[in-house]
Structure 1
């Protein structure tokens, strides 16, 4: 028995259009973020999506309640480290380490960084410094003996890492103007100089310090262990952003480091640039998370806050701010998904990573400002969280390479001409 074919429905032959005010929201799959308008998370295989959802629940339950109190005081919640240990999130991106022995995809790693940023940029930065910059420096720059010696304790977070590259008089130009020196003396190296803005440095067990060898003028990397004489980190006070992150200015005075702690595969600044190429993509994912976190706060607030007898979500100008923010989120997410695919294929380039950091951080900065605007006066107090996102966005916009430096990297790639000065 056959049935008559269903007649096609003409788009113009529909029932009377519904009143836009009564149209229900677009349905979302279970556990889907309101900001995931194009359902990017559905690209993850089931096993990795399960890891992401577990991480989301962990961050919401165990980390988010700590944030505002410690951010307000400018202190680090050390109980957070034990919670992260129990979560098994560290070292997921590295094959053979942590609970997830096969390396997680770059897409999952990026979405986990986004999840961290969505809760708190300071927490994302602490974790990114340890699990990204410090861990990857040893993983990439160390030989097998050094990886075996340092990384298992870092993977379990029994030892916390830091990454000391930036100097008081050298940020973007540190590649050519590094003043911290390393001098070989028998089986040891003597480090002298200073570093600044070094996250985790006030309490880190392992600090990867970059210094210029006085003999061959090449940049080398050294793992300086906590308690080494002559190594003095001093907390930077008075920050208006990332207040949970314990940034330090480090003074190195005759710091003696054994040759066994020199990362043997770091043979010049080109290798340092390789580390940054990989990790700055992670910062772009964090910036996406900060954007999402602020958007979610603003969306919920707009639905709850009333003015002139109705929710402000019904005001056209409020909807305009929300939609522009969602558009930025969606565009940036798409860019980062493709970047992750290129990373998984092993073909992504430095300028692609730089463009992601430059573009996503800029869109984050404007979107978070729009979201804060929706709160009016309530947007400048910690009670509503968005003030924290607004302040922290300024730091993410600048670190891991400023907006201008990323622009010059991409500009050189597309024009074939370097506009760097010096």
Structure 2
């Protein structure tokens, strides 16, 4: 079966046209009527303001410290729950409405909108350079001619929007630890404490596309607890053209005492320690090669999305404060009106994946997927995932503080990013290098 899929991918790659870069004239719109990342600079004249630069970098904020809420004085404008969601449905997703119907105690607290997204100036420069030279490989299997951040600030199709998310700037390196928790339909929790280290080769300042060696990032994820899982390590080398050179991945299991290659760490393989709630390609909302699906850009829409989630991003909170039996604590969440790109993916004929249709909502100011909905073959909603974004203004960079996946068919959910009791959050100044992510380096670490 896999040989057939690879052959199909190759045939499609030879027949479908590649996406082309925009003209210099179009690129000159960046920083003018468009923001430097390609969003509409103007507001909507009502509740979405104009973008005026986002949050400024805080030179005095120590990397790794939790971020003070810059909007703590804001009061909610209104609350949406099952009793009034019909009057707000134009700005709600199918998944949000299903969640509100399923859980009567769940609600969305809507606050004033702050377009807080901002990035370093060299990132904006990189995006502008990408605009005139980036191209999709045929069949959307990867991108050429781009570095640093999102390659298509003025997108024309769904694959370009998807790759803007996949290649968005997330810093150069990061290190953090946090709890990932699977919660059963009965409210029982299974927590796992993990260490994470990332090195984003794609975002190295000064690199040209030929310097990347077909790599986006390198990841090492180590389980610290519970004791039955402690010591397990996942190593990933994420590639830019995943048809020509698929991602490389390894797993170290303490009981086996060896690091082994894992050729199946992709698509709908169950993600480790998620109780099979989340698939590998749902990590970071979506990752990996998009070749199993047809991608359709539906356009832009104004909806209420999780944003500026500083209230839940605090070190004095306990995990018990955040995780309720059926969903995370609504009183700790913040939703705002923002414009998003809507992209729908439908499974190609002849391909197998547990999700037949997937819908993504992508924040125009950061190129981050903030909502994802997955449907089964019968068209029934299977899962809903939310990314709760903040601006880590010590960089600055927009990134998630929590990612939550709800299994609508079994009533379970999975949360990643619970660093609240760890004493620190993401450290962006932790010095990492490509050599720290070699299989040999991981073997040495595993036996220590």
TM-score, with structure 2 as normaliser: 0.29
Instruction: Looking at secondary structure, tell me which structure has more strand per residue.
Output: 2
Higher CA-based Rg:
1
Instruction: Looking at secondary structure, tell me which structure has more helix per residue.
Output: 1
